[in-house]
Amino acid sequence: MEATAAPRVQALADAGVPHLPAQYIQPPDLRADPSGRPAAAVAASIPVVDLSATASAADAVRRACADWGAFHVVNHGVPPALLDEMRGAGLAFFRAPMAEKLRFGCDRAKGAAAEGYGSRMLANDDSVLDWRDYFDHHTLPESRRDPARWPDFVPGYRDTVVRYSNSMKGLAQSLLRIISEGLNLPPSYMEEAVGEPYQNITISYYSPCPQPDLALGLQSHSDFGAITLLIQDDVGGLEVLKDRTWIPVPPLSDGILVILSDQTEIITNGRYKSAVHRAVVNANRARLSVATFYDPSKSRKICTAPQLVSKEHPQKYQDVIYGDYVSSWYIKGPEGKRNIDALLIKQ
Ligand SMILES: O=C(O)CCC(=O)C(=O)O
Ligand SMILES: [Fe+2]
């Protein structure tokens, strides 16, 4: 169980709390736009890259990585049925009775990123809470993967997560190759820079919220690893920050959203940006997403590719041990700033 007993958001929602409890109220400047979305926000839309179009995909990925740090891929080779199975497994878990779910509650004594069913990510107790519950799975390397820690009461759950994990590993690696080539690096460059992949799969469940304008499902952040692959249901709520405007990411049932994360920005010397994103909530419908994180190991040293450093492009970020990077995030939290800025080299 979590050491600090943060209530499950789903329990609050199911109890029909009429007002948002104080711990979930975001400061006014961080809330989802209270006046409704400005027209400009929908003027740009997140790129969609067809990975089967081999002639144009590399170029499209290059542009999407440089301009957005996030893009949808379609015809990616992962069977749509597996995406549905994964969403279905997650939904069956969250729809199960609380007592069943709590048998798989994460053990906060094991640190902030403990595996299992949780609600609170950050270590400090005074941070505003996200209107979200999640289930985090440690899936790679296989030595970290123990399906016995995952739900046993949803038929096929454990097998689905294993197949989904393997499939996402393959897709992440082919994307890292395309990303390397787009920067004129050897195809295996990014994969080697990241080293042995540490993969976590987090299913997020955002219950209907009594006062959605005051809360966030997940506050603004960039992911701290190398690359994140995300699928969602048809509700919508994910937004990506582009030129200081929040752009909604429309659900695309067979598509997979690629989000570049902070270590990719460091390795590519800022040519490719990690995407700042957040999840907003709504009053009526629960929303589910599944994020698969492809990250370095905690002991891995992440360095900028020397090929991308020049007089015109001086090195932007200090090298960092990935584990140190992660621990600083868990202590400080995003605080509306980018964690990666702490590594900026003063020019
Ligand atoms: O629920 C979403 O769409 C976003 C999830 C996310 O950004 C994360 O888990 O890091
Ligand atoms: Fe994220």
- Sequential pLDDT tens for the chain (347 residues): 444 456 899 999 999 999 999 999 999 989 987 555 554 545 689 999 999 998 889 999 999 999 999 999 999 999 999 999 999 999 999 999 999 999 999 877 776 668 999 987 665 567 899 999 999 999 999 999 999 999 999 999 999 999 999 999 999 999 999 999 999 999 999 999 999 999 999 999 999 999 999 999 999 999 999 999 999 999 999 999 999 899 999 999 999 999 999 999 999 999 999 999 999 999 999 999 999 999 999 999 999 999 999 999 999 999 999 999 998 776 665 555 688 988 999 87
CATH 1.10.1060.10 fits domain 9-341:
no
**SS3 of residue 52 by DSSP:** coil
Tell me the CA–centroid distance for residue 278 and ligand 1, in Å: 7
Q: Which of 131, 199, 238 to mutate to test the pocket of ligand 1 (most atoms within 8 A of CB)?
A: 238
Cβ-proximal residues to 269 (8 Å cutoff; 6+ apart), any chain: 304, 305, 308, 309, 313, 315, 316, 317
As a whole number of angstroms, the distance between CA 173 and CA 152 comes to 30
Point out the ligand nearest to the CA of residue 134: 1
Helices H / strands E in the chain, number of each: 8, 14
Q: What pLDDT shows up at residue 54?
A: 81
Q: What pLDDT shows up at residue 5?
A: 54
Point out the ligand nearest to the CA of residue 121: 1
Tell me the CA–centroid distance for residue 279 and ligand 1, in Å: 7
Q: Hey, where are the domains in the chain?
A: 9-341
Residues, CB-to-ion distance under 5 Å, ligand 2: 223
Tell me the CA–centroid distance for residue 129 and ligand 1, in Å: 15
| Tokens, residue 113 | 């990123």
As a whole number of angstroms, the distance between CA 7 and CA 133 comes to 10
Cβ-proximal residues to 140 (8 Å cutoff; 6+ apart), any chain: 165, 169, 197, 198, 199
> Phi and psi (nearest 5°) for 59?
-65, -40
Q: Which of 131, 230, 287 to mutate to test the pocket of ligand 1 (most atoms within 8 A of CB)?
A: 230
As a whole number of angstroms, the distance between CA 160 and CA 231 comes to 15
Point out the ligand nearest to the CA of residue 239: 1
Query: Does residue 84 contact residue 167 with C-beta atoms inside 8 Å?
Result: no
**SS3 of residue 25 by DSSP:** coil
Tell me the CA–centroid distance for residue 327 and ligand 2, in Å: 16
Point out the ligand nearest to the CA of residue 274: 2
Residue ranges lining ligand 1, Cβ < 6 Å = 202, 204, 218, 223, 230, 232, 238, 277, 279, 289, 291
Q: Which atom of ligand 1 is nearest to the CA of 238?
A: 3
Ligand 1: residue whose CA is nearest its atom 8: 291
Q: What is the pTM of this model?
A: 0.94
ipTM of the complex: 0.99
Report the candidate in 274, 271, 285 with the shortest Cα–Cα distance to residue 207: 285
Ligand 1: residue whose CA is nearest its atom 6: 291
Q: What pLDDT shows up at residue 3?
A: 44
